[in-house]
Structure 1
Amino acid sequence: MRRIRSWHHAPSAPRFKPPPGAVDAHCHVFGPKAQFPFSPKAKYHPEDAGPDDLFALRDQLGFTRNVIVQASCHGTDNRATLHAIAKSQGRARGIAVVDPDITDADLDELNAAGIRGIRFNFLKRLVDDAPKDQFLVLAERVRRLDWHVVIYFEAELLSELTPFMEAIQTVIVIDHMGRPDVSEGPDGPDMRAFRDFLGNHPNVWTKVSCAERLSKQGPPFNDFVAAVSPLVEAFPDRVLWGSDWPHPNMQDAIPDDGALVDLIPRIAPTPGLQRKLLIDNPMRLYWPAEGLPSQ
């Protein structure tokens, strides 16, 4: 399988300066393949994008911490993610993908290594199987660790997955708002359904991220801003932001990470909203023992 690059070699420096302590709450690492091979089930084989590159980008963009989400190309082998967390000097946490038969002892080891949640992926182009019954068992098992569950799906599955999500008795974080059609605006059917869902389920959070995937207009992503900013205003205590670096499978439209950061004040226009989005909310989920940094 051909290896692909989907990230910018020279992203711009953002005009927006994130507040001190800001967290990039959704990013990935790939390999290095020689050390951490890809899953036999991987649907894509990216070029190496390891922790040194991730942390250099973190510093360039003005962030302090990262939340590293296990990439589907690595399957349930979380070693690349754990390696990056170990190299972060306490400035990264992680989201794992695990086998349903994982032992409690292995979960405890992941917790000690900095994992704070598990991810369930329902994108058929990325995974072959998404067993809801086994996922529910896993969600219940990780409650004792105070972990949350990250769920990735596309907008047309929201109604079908609602009973499944209602059965999960812990915090849920939805990746990229369930990939709505933002071109229809804040009152389009996808965004309206998702806002209603959040309003009816107080344990559900979301990442207001991936303008580069969701916008049909492209830069400067005005359709994304118009659709998403009302959601940030309506649910300021349950939103997170992430760069999605190194932008899996975006090789045909590689985004500029600096330009993505410059969207933050457009979807969260006040310092108070920016602090919740970038500091208060991710710290509550990933570094609760440290408390919130002073303003």
Structure 2
Amino acid sequence: MKAAARPAGGDPAESPPQGLPPAAHPRRPRHALPPGATDCHCHLYEDPQRHPLNGARSYTPAVATLRQYLAMCAAVGLERTVQVSASVYGFDNSVTLGAIAALGQQRARGVAGLPPDAPAAELERLHAAGIRGVRLSTSVKGYGGTDAIGAMAGRIRPFGWHLQVHVRGTQELAALEDQLLRTQVPLVFDHMGCVRGGEGVAHPGFQALLRILQRRDDCWAKISSWYRRSDSGGPDHADMRPLVQALVAARPERLLFGTNWPHPRLFDAARMPDDGALVDQFCDWVPDAAVRRRILVDNPSTLYFSN
């Protein structure tokens, strides 16, 4: 097996590129989401004077506040949230914890960035505050990469947390498949395993993701950020539809939905999606209302809100 990938690198002398703010007024979707619909992947970027950005980061975000996020959720029909602590904050999870505290744990939970040697007392504090997972990434600097899977799994197992795996490309999942099948904590795969639309369902990395979902009962994949992964482009993102449908056919009870608001690391305003349009696209691609409810409500309840 190939060596596990390490975090995204880059020249520390380069200035991180400046991201764009999200669309200010998303349109109301054609589809009404069910009560309890949950956004399982989103970020906040508060005032950098109060919440300094990590020096080693892959991008500089535009400010995107909890108030703005809640306005988007109200417009599109999302009622619960899973806040993913952004990589630009490194191991400082205060923005995420602040959002959970403001909304309450019946409405919000979180995923943290943590080093593998974080003290047990810190994990206990985060668990009490609503954190239910740790993110590792080879795509962005700030968290640590998939080489930390083994060490991190040992630390979080007593808390029942999951590892959230964010890779630069889906081919990494093929290289990691054996290890991921053996890892003794639940796994969550960001952005459909980060497959590109042009790679298609037959890509070895995407096939590895499908096998992991089918062979384990404690692994999950997020239907999110497909607009970024599409090679055919918007507004249809047609090359992503077969990938979503393959996941739904394989394991609908292990899928989650995420907006990826405020759509970080987009630098071309023409590519900034409308969140109402994304909700409609998801609903069009998953036409069965019972399956949509499972993905939007039941699955998040099991993974994030059951303890």
- Aligned ranges for residues 1-295 of structure 1 at < 5 Å? 1=15, 3-90=18-105, 91-123=107-139, 125-127=140-142, 129-130=144-145, 132=147, 134-153=148-167, 154-218=169-233, 219-252=235-268, 253-289=271-307
TM-score, normalised via structure 2 length: 0.87
Deviations 1:39-62 (A, max 9, x none): 111121112112111111111110
- Does the Cα contact within 8 Å between 1:7 and 1:250 map onto a contact in 2? no
Please report how far the alpha carbon of residue 166 of structure 1 lies from its aligned counterpart in structure 2 after TM superposition: 2.8
Matches of 2:162 and 2:204, distance apart in 1: 28
Please report how far the alpha carbon of residue 217 of structure 1 lies from its aligned counterpart in structure 2 after TM superposition: 1.8
Matches of 1:92 and 1:53, distance apart in 2: 16
| CA distance 1:45–1:263, shift in 2 (3 Å) | same
- Does the Cα contact within 8 Å between 2:40 and 2:258 map onto a contact in 1? yes
Deviations 1:63-120 (A, max 9, x none): 1100011111111111111111111133111000102221111101101111011111
Matches of 1:212 and 1:27, distance apart in 2: 15
SS at the partner of 1:192?
A: helix
Matches of 1:183 and 1:49, distance apart in 2: 31
Please report how far the alpha carbon of residue 184 of structure 1 lies from its aligned counterpart in structure 2 after TM superposition: 4.6
Alignment root-mean-square deviation, CA: 1.9
Matches of 1:190 and 1:156, distance apart in 2: 4
- Does the Cα contact within 8 Å between 1:31 and 1:38 map onto a contact in 2? no
SS at the partner of 2:134?
A: strand
Matches of 2:77 and 2:60, distance apart in 1: 29
Residue matched to 1:293: none
- Does the Cα contact within 8 Å between 2:136 and 2:143 map onto a contact in 1? no
Post-superposition, which runs of at least 4 consecutive aligned residues in structure 1 deviate over 6 A? none
Please report how far the alpha carbon of residue 228 of structure 1 lies from its aligned counterpart in structure 2 after TM superposition: 1.3
| Aligned-partner residue type, residue 263 of structure 1 | Q
Deviations 1:122-181 (A, max 9, x none): 22x53595262x431221221111111100012121122223323321110000122112
| Aligned-partner residue type, residue 148 of structure 1 | H
Residue matched to 1:292: none
Matches of 1:53 and 1:85, distance apart in 2: 15
